[in-house]
Each structure stands twice: as C-alpha cells, then as structure tokens.
Homo-oligomer: A and B are copies of this chain.
C-alpha cells in the first residue's frame, strides 16, 4: 500500500481563548492521523491571528482569511485541501463564498448563514463549482444516527407518520450572557446569530434529523419562538409543528432554558410498522420497536455485523469503548476528506452522504418560516424548498 499523504487543512476562526468550536475541530482533524493543521487565520485581530496559529502549531499563520485564501490559492503545490470555518454565524457566508471562489472545499459550522438567500447563494456556487461542502450538523455523524437513517431506508419502520425531535439545553436559563461567557454573548446577539437564537443554534440540528434520518422536509410550519429571560433579544425557546413532504407531521422542541438539560438532542421516528428512538443521552444505543416484539437495542461497536458497509469506515472501536463528540466531528472531516481524495483520484471507501450546503440552506429556510409564523401568532407558513 502506498503511503497516503495527509490532507492539509486551513482553519478560519477558533483561535480565541473562549472559542468553543476551534478546539474540537482541531482534535477532529488530528485524531485520525489523516490530516494536518496547515494554515490558520484564527482570530479577528491580525496580531492575535498570527500569534494563535503559531501557538496552536499551524504550519502557516495568516493575519486574516483573505490573505490565507489568496496566498494558499497561489501556491504551486502544498496548498491547503479544504477550509474549516468556525467563526460566529455572521461571517460564515462571506468566508464560505470566498473559500469556494478561491477553489477550496469547505466544512462550515452551522447555522450556515444569517439568511436563507445567503445560503441559497452558496448552494448555487457549490452546484456551479462541484466543490465538496459539509455543514457541521455533527450529530448526523454519530454512528447510531447513521444506522437509524439506514434502517429507515431499509423499510424497517415503514412509512413515517411522525418525527418527534427535541433539543433541550439549560445553559441560558439565567443571564449567562452577562457573566463573561463569550459563547453566550454572541449567541444572544441578533447581529451575530441571525433571526433566531435557540432556533438557529439548536433547532436546526433537530430539523436536520428530520431531513437526514427520515429523508423528509417540512412544507409548512406553525412556530413559536419564545424568550423567557428578560432583556434577551432573541428567542431562548423554540417550538415548531410541521407538515412534512410525505403527509406526515413533525415536532421540533428546542430550548435553552431547561435547567439541568445538558445537550440532549434526539428523535423518535414513528412509522406505520415501527418506531426508532435515539437520544444523545444514550447515544451509543438505538432502539427499534415493532408491534408485539421485544425492543431491539442496537449498540455501537465495530464488530457488529448489523452495520452496513456504508457506515463501516466510520466505526473506530470495539463495542463498549465509548466514542462521542470528537469522533462525530472527525467523521464529518472524514467525509469531506474522502470526497476530496476521490476528486484527487485516490481509491477510498464511499463518503457517507452527510449534510451539505442544501441542508444548511434548508435549516435557514426552516428558521425563516418558523420565525415568520411565530410573529403571526403561529399561523401556518410555507417553508421555501431548497433542494
């Protein structure tokens, strides 16, 4: 076997001391020994950006993403293979656009942009260029969520009647944004987060379960975006009832004020012939209910034959050696890396169809419709279809 070179990753954002996503993405990029931290434009100040990239052992430090993209694109060889974007929401669009236009594949944090039209613009560019683009709906890359998708596609639960999704968190139950927590500060700021706080930050994750696991989209929504904490400009609670593309219905229940909830997203896919249930709190299990039968509990483990070939490259450890968040993120990086290696002519396993730019745009469409519905007292509102 020939030696497979490590891919070179450029990162924008993620260098600040309180940035949450930079660290996990760096771990995810490094942990599989298939890629390296090559180029970094990690902070908003030029000095900070250069300093941070050096401290974090990037091979090349840049003062800003524009110079990074320009100089990397100009290299004869050794240039970066893709860009990872971990800035706050308000700069996703510009950096993604510039990266694509400079010819680089992109893995971008979610929500994808500030508005639907920005997302649609990115989708157009991706279609035009054919460049790989992954949106970091990280939970779709947990193996049991991927297995749920496969069991649905295999018909195990029949036609889906209802998708219940949830995402309670508790970290914004008080005025966290006033306690020096930068993660909270920008998330409650409409200028940096967009039209919805809770909906954009976590409601989009819940909605992506509907798209990814069930393969369905919302046609119409009745939404309620609620703000519980006084003085907060954006919603911290987000409830949606949706009519689905197959005639079924769905609920999205997201909240940031559920004291004690950690990061408890999950779903229940209710079909005519069975139910699949998964929860982050027990993320290495997947439950399948069939009428009159014992519950079948699938468990994570590389040795289990019930994982189809499409998931197998994403399994790392034997059963009972728990994986988690970092591995899920690494799976998204694996997918874009496989896509890139394919384009480069390498033989690789199939990249799994993890969420792309269309899913990012669909999330924005959901948010815009839900917020409009909420402002109209929950009136049923059409969701722009982006696929």
Residues of A within 8 A of B (CB): 1, 3-4, 6, 20, 23-24, 26-27, 30-33, 37, 54-57, 157, 161-162, 164, 168-171, 173-174, 222, 224, 226, 228, 237, 239, 241, 249, 251, 253, 255, 257-264, 268, 270-275, 277, 280-281, 283, 287-299, 301, 303-306, 316-327, 377-380
Residue pair B20, A27 in contact (C-beta under 8 Å) = no
User: Nearest B residue to A37 by beta-carbon distance?
Assistant: B33
In the bound complex, residues from chain B placing their C-beta under 8 Å from that of A291 are 170, 173-174, 259-260
Question: 30 A–B contact pairs at CB < 8 A?
Answer: A3-B55, A3-B57, A23-B316, A26-B33, A27-B32, A31-B31, A161-B257, A162-B257, A173-B291, A222-B222, A226-B249, A237-B249, A241-B378, A251-B253, A259-B273, A259-B289, A260-B274, A260-B287, A260-B291, A280-B320, A294-B296, A294-B298, A295-B297, A296-B296, A297-B297, A316-B326, A321-B324, A322-B324, A326-B327, A378-B378
Residue pair A33, B20 in contact (C-beta under 8 Å) = no
Tell me, in angstroms, the Cα distance from A318 to B26 when the chains sit together. 16
Residue pair A294, B299 in contact (C-beta under 8 Å) = yes
Tell me, in angstroms, the Cα distance from A228 to B246 when the chains sit together. 12
In the bound complex, residues from chain B placing their C-beta under 8 Å from that of A257 are 161-162, 270
In the bound complex, residues from chain B placing their C-beta under 8 Å from that of A4 are 55
Residue pair A263, B377 in contact (C-beta under 8 Å) = no
Partner of A27, one of B33, B54, B379: B33
Supplied contacts A164-B253, A258-B275, A292-B303, 8 more A-B pairs, CB within 8 Å? A27-B31, A30-B30, A161-B228, A259-B273, A263-B318, A263-B319, A294-B296, A317-B325
Residue pair A378, B222 in contact (C-beta under 8 Å) = yes
Question: When A255-B162, A301-B262 are in contact, do A380 and B380 touch as well, CB less than 8 Å?
Answer: no
Tell me, in angstroms, the Cα distance from A280 to B169 when the chains sit together. 22
Partner of A260, one of B169, B174, B226, B289: B289
Residue pair B272, A173 in contact (C-beta under 8 Å) = yes
Q: How far is the CB of A277 from chain B (nearest CB, A)?
A: 8
Closest 6 CB pairs of A and B: A260-B289, A263-B320, A262-B320, A322-B324, A321-B325, A294-B296
In the bound complex, residues from chain B placing their C-beta under 8 Å from that of A37 are 33
Residue pair A255, B283 in contact (C-beta under 8 Å) = no
Q: How far is the CB of A145 from chain B (nearest CB, A)?
A: 13
In the bound complex, residues from chain B placing their C-beta under 8 Å from that of A321 are 24, 263, 324-325
Tell me, in angstroms, the Cα distance from A327 to B327 when the chains sit together. 10
